[in-house]
Amino acid sequence: DTEVTQTPKHLVMGMTNKKSLKCEQHMGHRAMYWYKQKAKKPPELMFVYSYEKLSINESVPSRFSPECPNSSLLNLHLHALQPEDSALYLCASSQALGENEQFFGPGTRLTVL
Protein backbone atom coordinates (compact mmCIF):
# COMPACT_ATOMS: atom_id res chain seq x y z
CA ASP A 1 0.00 0.00 0.00
CA THR A 2 1.78 3.14 -1.22
CA GLU A 3 -1.05 5.51 -0.68
CA VAL A 4 -1.81 8.43 1.59
CA THR A 5 -5.54 8.83 2.09
CA GLN A 6 -7.33 11.95 3.25
CA THR A 7 -10.89 12.46 4.40
CA PRO A 8 -13.09 14.21 3.69
CA LYS A 9 -12.46 15.16 0.06
CA HIS A 10 -14.47 18.34 0.44
CA LEU A 11 -15.51 20.29 3.52
CA VAL A 12 -17.64 23.39 3.89
CA MET A 13 -17.77 24.96 7.31
CA GLY A 14 -18.91 28.12 8.99
CA MET A 15 -16.60 30.33 10.98
CA THR A 16 -17.98 29.04 14.28
CA ASN A 17 -17.77 25.34 13.43
CA LYS A 18 -15.29 22.79 14.69
CA LYS A 19 -14.20 20.15 12.21
CA SER A 20 -11.30 17.77 11.67
CA LEU A 21 -9.32 16.60 8.67
CA LYS A 22 -7.93 13.10 8.71
CA CYS A 23 -4.89 11.62 7.02
CA GLU A 24 -3.77 7.99 7.01
CA GLN A 25 -0.82 6.03 5.62
CA HIS A 26 0.18 2.39 5.99
CA MET A 27 3.64 2.53 4.48
CA GLY A 28 5.40 2.49 7.85
CA HIS A 29 6.50 6.09 7.38
CA ARG A 30 7.59 7.89 10.54
CA ALA A 31 7.34 11.48 9.29
CA MET A 32 4.06 13.17 8.38
CA TYR A 33 3.25 16.68 7.18
CA TRP A 34 0.42 19.15 6.70
CA TYR A 35 0.51 21.66 3.85
CA LYS A 36 -1.86 24.39 2.78
CA GLN A 37 -2.24 25.24 -0.90
CA LYS A 38 -4.12 28.22 -2.27
CA ALA A 39 -5.21 28.35 -5.91
CA LYS A 40 -2.33 28.72 -8.39
CA LYS A 41 0.22 28.78 -5.55
CA PRO A 42 2.68 26.14 -4.34
CA PRO A 43 2.02 24.10 -1.20
CA GLU A 44 3.11 25.82 2.02
CA LEU A 45 4.33 23.76 4.94
CA MET A 46 2.29 24.02 8.14
CA PHE A 47 3.43 21.20 10.44
CA VAL A 48 5.95 18.37 10.53
CA TYR A 49 5.64 15.32 12.77
CA SER A 50 8.43 12.84 13.33
CA TYR A 51 7.85 9.67 15.34
CA GLU A 52 4.50 11.12 16.44
CA LYS A 53 6.13 14.24 17.90
CA LEU A 54 5.68 17.72 16.50
CA SER A 55 9.01 18.80 14.94
CA ILE A 56 8.05 21.94 13.06
CA ASN A 57 5.19 24.41 13.43
CA GLU A 58 5.50 27.10 10.80
CA SER A 59 3.91 29.80 12.97
CA VAL A 60 0.47 28.52 12.12
CA PRO A 61 -2.46 30.25 13.92
CA SER A 62 -3.82 28.32 16.88
CA ARG A 63 -7.17 27.83 15.15
CA PHE A 64 -5.33 24.96 13.40
CA SER A 65 -4.44 22.20 15.83
CA PRO A 66 -2.55 19.13 14.60
CA GLU A 67 -2.60 15.76 16.28
CA CYS A 68 -0.71 12.54 15.60
CA PRO A 69 -2.44 9.80 17.61
CA ASN A 70 -0.25 7.04 16.15
CA SER A 71 2.34 6.49 13.45
CA SER A 72 -0.28 5.94 10.74
CA LEU A 73 -2.68 8.75 11.51
CA LEU A 74 -2.50 12.52 11.35
CA ASN A 75 -5.38 14.84 12.15
CA LEU A 76 -5.85 18.56 11.72
CA HIS A 77 -8.46 20.06 14.03
CA LEU A 78 -10.08 23.24 12.82
CA HIS A 79 -11.86 25.81 14.96
CA ALA A 80 -13.06 29.36 14.36
CA LEU A 81 -11.55 29.53 10.88
CA GLN A 82 -11.66 32.56 8.63
CA PRO A 83 -12.75 32.70 4.97
CA GLU A 84 -9.10 33.25 3.98
CA ASP A 85 -8.34 29.79 5.36
CA SER A 86 -10.22 28.30 2.43
CA ALA A 87 -7.68 26.20 0.51
CA LEU A 88 -6.59 22.70 -0.40
CA TYR A 89 -5.08 20.99 2.64
CA LEU A 90 -2.54 18.36 1.74
CA CYS A 91 -1.13 15.65 3.93
CA ALA A 92 2.16 13.95 3.11
CA SER A 93 4.39 11.30 4.61
CA SER A 94 7.99 10.17 4.21
CA GLN A 95 10.03 7.28 5.51
CA ALA A 96 11.75 9.61 7.93
CA LEU A 97 13.06 13.14 8.05
CA GLY A 98 16.05 13.99 5.86
CA GLU A 99 16.61 13.14 2.22
CA ASN A 100 13.39 11.31 1.59
CA GLU A 101 10.70 11.75 -1.00
CA GLN A 102 7.33 12.79 0.28
CA PHE A 103 4.14 10.96 -0.65
CA PHE A 104 1.15 13.26 -0.85
CA GLY A 105 -2.50 12.54 -0.37
CA PRO A 106 -5.16 13.94 -2.71
CA GLY A 107 -6.02 16.73 -0.30
CA THR A 108 -9.14 18.10 1.37
CA ARG A 109 -10.75 21.06 -0.35
CA LEU A 110 -11.88 23.33 2.49
CA THR A 111 -14.31 26.21 2.10
CA VAL A 112 -14.96 28.51 5.04
CA LEU A 113 -18.13 30.57 4.77
60 binding other proteins? (CB under 8 A): no
Are 59 and 36 within 8 A, CB to CB?
no
Query: C-beta of 37: minimal distance to other proteins in Å?
Result: 9
Which of these, 11, 2, 37, 35, lies nearest to 108 by C-alpha position?
11
Query: C-beta of 32: minimal distance to other proteins in Å?
Result: 10
- The kind and range of the H/E element at 10 are strand 10-13
Query: C-beta of 82: minimal distance to other proteins in Å?
Result: 23
The C-alpha atoms of residue 25 and residue 23 are separated, in whole angstroms, by 7
7 binding other proteins? (CB under 8 A): no
Residues within the interface to other proteins (CB under 8 A):
4, 31, 33, 41-45, 48, 50, 55-56, 58, 88, 90, 92, 94, 97-107, 109
